[in-house]
């Protein structure tokens, strides 16, 4: 009987090993693991990069900074990440990143100085800008009365449009809207202010019955399914290029100026290749391909100018206003505040 068991075991381990060999372990090419936002790149560039540097790129995507962070916490190792501002600050504080060797990134000369040195990484020690933009309201000019826009973010609670809006399924951006509407800083740590914002969102749920959408908002707005949607400027630019009835609006109460940047993790073993990847993405031609493919604003001046003049001419969302005096950049949150927000956000979504 032992023989039988052994045979079975051999078979099982044999099969397991075989597949292990078939998938991945086989090649000795250097591998770069990149973790970035979904729909955030012209994927043909990855193949080009692989060819040029004779390597393999494993490209994975996430749909929120938080889910990216959780994945890393669960033991997953990546070489290059493309998180947003506050998450970069958090990773820096937790020693998750290694300093960029700028001498390996000659294409950095093409970057717009104006988007460098943001508060989350003042000297750009760790991060290289990839895309930037704002958050605003995308509205259907055939449905929304321009006069109502004067209410700023409060228009999202204008019962005229009840059942006709998409919020964005993101904790920090939703609270940003409520806090800005109430005239507070979106980086507040004052629990009374946060509670007030929570009430704002709960009341909005009750009266407006919004849909908390993810990327599905893109198709829905292209088809003109609802009157308004909270979107990132880059998505707005893409949607507006597909549907001419839409316009992008940034309330004066201020909004979130965000930046997604490429960073190298401290786990990264292919440091040189990681720098090469970053440099590759900053190449004016490649940056142009990316920005045209996804609609987000490139920090590479040459690519941005070309896209703004040719592909997104007259598209107000492609070059969003980042000079508003009430605008802010998201900052790192202490654990306690972060958990407080997370719990309230779960409650907002679960409320009925």
Partner 1 sequence: MKKKKIAPVIYIILCFIFLYLPIVVTMVYSFNSSKSLTKFESFSLRWYENLFSNGEIMNAVYVSVTIALLATAISTILGTITAIGLSKSRKVLKEVIINVNNIPIMNPDIVTAIGLMILFSSMKMEKGYLTMLLAHVAFCTPYVITSVYPKVRNLDPNLANAAMDLGATPFQALTKVILPMLKEGIFAGVLLAFTMSFDDFVISYFVTGNGVSNISIIVYNMTKRTNPTINALSTLVILVIVITLVVINVIPIMVRKKRERKAILIEKPQELKEE
Partner 2 sequence: MKHFVKLIRPYMVWAVVMILVPLLLIVLYSVTTGGNDLINIQFTLENFKKMTEPIYVAVFVKSFQLGLLSVGICLFLGYILAYLITKFSERVQSLLVLLVTIPMWINTLLRTYAWICLLSDNGIINAILGLFGLEPVTMMYTDFAVVIGLVSDLLPFMVIPIHTSLCKIDHSLHEAAMDLGANRFQTFWRVTFKLSIPGVLNGIIMTFLLSISTFVIPKLLGGGQYMLIGNLIENQFISVGDWNFGSAISVILAFIILIAITSMKRIDKDEIEEE
Residues making contact with partner 1 (CB under 8 A): 1, 3-5, 8, 11-12, 15-16, 19-20, 22-24, 33, 38-39, 43, 58-61, 63, 71, 74-76, 214-216, 218-219
Partner from partner 1, partner 2, none contacting 218, C-beta within 5 to 8 A by type: partner 1
Q: Give the nearest distance from C-beta 80 to partner 2 in angstroms.
A: 21
| Cα separation values, 296 from 2, 14, 44, Å | 63, 48, 17
Tokens of 157: 């609670």
Does position 143 interact with partner 2 (CB under 8 A)? The reply is: no
In 3D space, the residue among 237, 218, 234 whose CA is nearest the CA of residue 226 turns out to be: 218
At a CB cut-off of 8 Å and minimum separation 6, what does 235 contact? Answer: 138, 215, 217, 218, 295, 296
148 close to 339: Cβ distance less than 8 angstroms = no
Q: By C-beta, is 54 or 74 nearer to partner 2? A: 74
Q: Does residue 169 belong to the site contacting partner 2 (CB under 8 A)?
A: yes
Q: Name the minimum Å distance from CB 302 to partner 1.
A: 28
Which single residue is written with the structure tokens 């979106």?
186
Q: Does 5 bind partner 2 (CB under 8 A)?
A: yes
- Minimum CB distance to partner 2, residue 306 (Å): 34
Segment 146 to 165, residues that bind partner 2, using CB under 8 A = 163
The interface partner of residue 38, options being partner 1, partner 2, none and the CB cut-off 5 to 8 Å by kind, is partner 1
Q: How far is the CB of 74 from partner 1 (least distance, A)?
A: 5
Least distance CB 237 / partner 1 (angstroms): 15
Q: Cβ–Cβ contacts within 10 Å for residue 67, how many?
A: 10
Q: Does 350 bind partner 2 (CB under 8 A)?
A: yes
- The closest of 102, 206, 217, 97 to 162, measured between CA atoms, is 206
In the bound complex, what is the minimum distance in angstroms from residue 219's beta carbon to partner 1? 5
Cα four-point dihedral sign 219, 225, 231, 235: positive
Residue from 225, 279, 305, 316 binding partner 2 (CB under 8 A): 225
Q: What is the torsion angle, in degrees rounded to the nearest 10, for the CA atoms of residue 89, residue 90, residue 95 and residue 100?
A: -30
H-assigned helices in 243-311? 271-282, 284-294, 301-309
CA gap 187, 155 in Å, rounded: 22
Chosen residue from 74, 109, 113, 244 binding partner 2 by CB under 8 A: 74
CB under 5 to 8 A by kind: which of partner 1, partner 2, none does 169 bind? Answer: partner 2
Q: How many residues does the chain have?
A: 352
Residue 341: HSE in the Cβ half-sphere, 13 Å Cα cutoff:
23
Choose the contact partner of 64 out of partner 1, partner 2, none; CB within 5 to 8 A by kind: partner 2
**Residue (154 or 215) nearer to partner 1, CB:** 215
Near partner 2 by CB under 8 A, which window of 32-40, 134-142, 187-195, 222-230? 222-230
Q: Are β-strands 211-213 and 165-168 bridged in parallel, bridged antiparallel, or unpaired?
A: parallel
- Helices (DSSP H) in 74-209: which residue ranges? 85-93, 171-181, 191-208
Judged by beta carbon, residue 12 or residue 114, the one nearer partner 1 is 12
Among 42, 66, 193, 252, binds partner 2 (CB under 8 A): 66
- Max Cα separation, the chain? 84
347 touching partner 2, by CB under 8 A:
yes
Binding site for partner 2 (CB under 8 A): 1-2, 4-5, 8-9, 64, 66-67, 69-70, 73-74, 163, 169, 171, 205, 210-214, 216, 220, 223-226, 339, 342-343, 346-347, 349-352
């Amino acid at each position: 009987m032992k023989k039988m068991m052994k045979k079975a075991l051999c078979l099982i381990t044999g099969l397991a090993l075989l597949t292990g060999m078939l998938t991945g372990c086989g090649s000795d090419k250097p591998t770069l693991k990149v973790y970035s936002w979904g729909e955030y790149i012209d994927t043909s560039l990855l193949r080009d990069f692989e060819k040029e540097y004779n390597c393999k790129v494993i490209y994975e995507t996430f749909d929120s900074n938080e889910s990216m962070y959780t994945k890393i916490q669960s033991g997953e190792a990546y070489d290059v990440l493309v998180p947003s501002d506050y998450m970069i600050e958090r990773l820096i504080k937790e020693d998750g990143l290694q300093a960029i060797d700028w001498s390996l990134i000659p294409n950095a000369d093409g970057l717009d100085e104006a988007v460098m040195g943001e508060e989350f990484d003042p000297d750009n020690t760790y991060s290289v800008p990839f895309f930037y933009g704002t958050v605003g309201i995308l509205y259907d000019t055939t449905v929304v009365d321009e006069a109502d826009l004067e209410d700023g973010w409060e228009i999202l609670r204008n019962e005229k449009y009840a059942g006709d809006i998409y919020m964005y399924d993101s904790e920090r951006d939703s609270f940003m809207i409520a806090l800005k509407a109430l005239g507070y800083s979106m980086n507040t740590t004052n629990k009374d202010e946060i509670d007030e914002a929570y009430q704002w969102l709960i009341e909005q749920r009750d009266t407006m019955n919004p849909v908390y959408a993810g990327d599905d908002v893109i198709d829905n707005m292209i088809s003109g399914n609802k009157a308004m949607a909270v979107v990132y400027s880059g998505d707005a630019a893409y949607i507006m290029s597909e549907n001419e009835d839409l316009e992008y609006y940034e309330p004066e109460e201020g909004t979130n100026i965000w930046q997604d940047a490429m960073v190298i993790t401290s786990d990264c073993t292919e440091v040189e290749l990681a720098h090469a990847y970053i440099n590759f993405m900053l190449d004016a031609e490649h940056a142009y391909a990316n920005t045209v493919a996804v609609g987000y604003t490139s920090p590479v001046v040459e690519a941005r100018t070309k896209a703004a003049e040719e592909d997104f001419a007259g598209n107000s969302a492609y070059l969003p206003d980042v000079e508003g005096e009430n605008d802010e950049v998201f900052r790192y949150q202490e654990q306690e505040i972060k958990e407080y927000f997370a719990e309230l956000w779960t409650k907002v979504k679960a409320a009925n």
